[in-house]
A and B are shown apart, each in its own frame.
Chain A
């Protein structure tokens, strides 16, 4: 389903961080939001899922205006969120984590088959406590958990953070398969240049809370462009 944001402003209390952002994320499309640390990428994603209220502007998902809905209601409409730091329930089993994904898009029962088709390794870990797995496995669980529901969109916040490069590459492949095989709308907030270039269809560059440019991922191969937008 399509996510549309119009003139969105939000922040913490009186501190405004996201400033007049408009964008659309369409099905079967991967939109990367890039930019330096502290420009408001995570705040934007938290406002989209409803963890932070919008100060002004609107957010719609499919046919529904979700601007005033709480996070749980948005999740039940099919907004799937893979947070920075993964947000898995470490004291619960892998199976229980996956089962909780059914809340996304209000699935009648968790689609374990689909989650395990994308992440076969989780099949061997089902009865294990999620906290005992490696960072890469936890990241796969966090994505697989959303796939066990019926998401219309997936929002990923820095999925490469703290994960070894081979697994980052694998996650990149899977994100592309989710676009092609599931037709998910995907928004990814990322600083890892390799991952951005591997998956993104479009890059939105964020600075000081606003979207300042829309570029093709190929343009980031130019070190000057990468330097300007990512300051790497």
Chain B
């Protein structure tokens, strides 16, 4: 039973880490691959989602409703930020980094002024199960499943809706998309809103595992950022999946063999190695290799 528990524990941790990276990164990579902007305020959109969810929950809303409201709230905040600021910085990676970092500071400090430094909480639902001497929270697995559902949702929107078709066209060749009557500004606004909403939903999910404060977002932005950069922008879904699989693997092994801290640092080292070999990310690298293969 001891070994079985040990094995389950490793697998469980792998999916926990993987799910964390997917949830934290899904909205961010969508925005990056679409608009060439890395949104450093993504963590703050998650924080907004977390606050909305907790407030709704304490006002008596069921957990699922609280999560949906978090998505709507963060999505709306995202659309406002996009309209006011970000649309001036599309495809300017460095300027957009600085600008969104500024937005991130404004939102977190603004929340601190508005709501004070007090922390809020939301209970972790769904209890736990045990294998041998180890106990595992069910909710962590639900988070992994939720990440898959969100990614599947993004895929379905891209694949099956008119907005998705227009978004794909805009992503590949915005000038041609406009010449076919597509309002690319609107596509960008809606995509950014969708990415922000995904951040809000992720924030609500994380809110049930962590304390919520104005600086909640800082726990997630760095890992999301690394996942997205390692994943690359050529294909949001594949990029996220590959980067998550890889980084979660490294993190699980090193944090078990050594400790949590080494696990965290190893993720940075692993990202560094991946970017040495594939400077623009895994999905860009694979796409370029495929293009070369078809041209031959």
Q: Which residues of A contact B (CB under 8 A)?
A: 49-51, 70-73, 75-76, 81, 83, 87, 89-92, 96, 99-101, 103-104, 106, 131-132, 145, 149
Contact = CB atoms under 8 A, between A and B. Distances in A.
Given A92-B169, A92-B172, A96-B165, A132 B294 contact: yes
B293 to A, nearest CB: 11
B181 A72 contact: yes
Contact of A72 (B165, B173, B178): B178
B260 interface: no
Contacts of A103: 180-182
Nearest to B181: A103
Contacts of A87: 173, 175-176, 179
A51 B30 CA distance: 26
A89 B169 contact: yes
Interface of B: 165-166, 168-169, 172-173, 175-184, 294
Chain B at the A interface: SS class: helix
A151 B182 CA distance: 15
A75 B180 contact: yes
A51 B175 contact: yes
A53 B183 CA distance: 17
Contacts of B178: 50-51, 70-72, 75
A71 B177 CA distance: 9
Given A96-B165, A99-B165, A132-B294, A90 B172 contact: yes
Contacts of B169: 89, 92, 100
A89 B183 CA distance: 16
**Which 5 A-B residue pairs are closest in the complex by CB-CB distance?**
A103-B181, A75-B181, A87-B176, A71-B178, A76-B181
A163 to B, nearest CB: 17
B179 A100 contact: no
A99 B172 CA distance: 16
Given A89-B169, A92-B169, A106 B179 contact: no
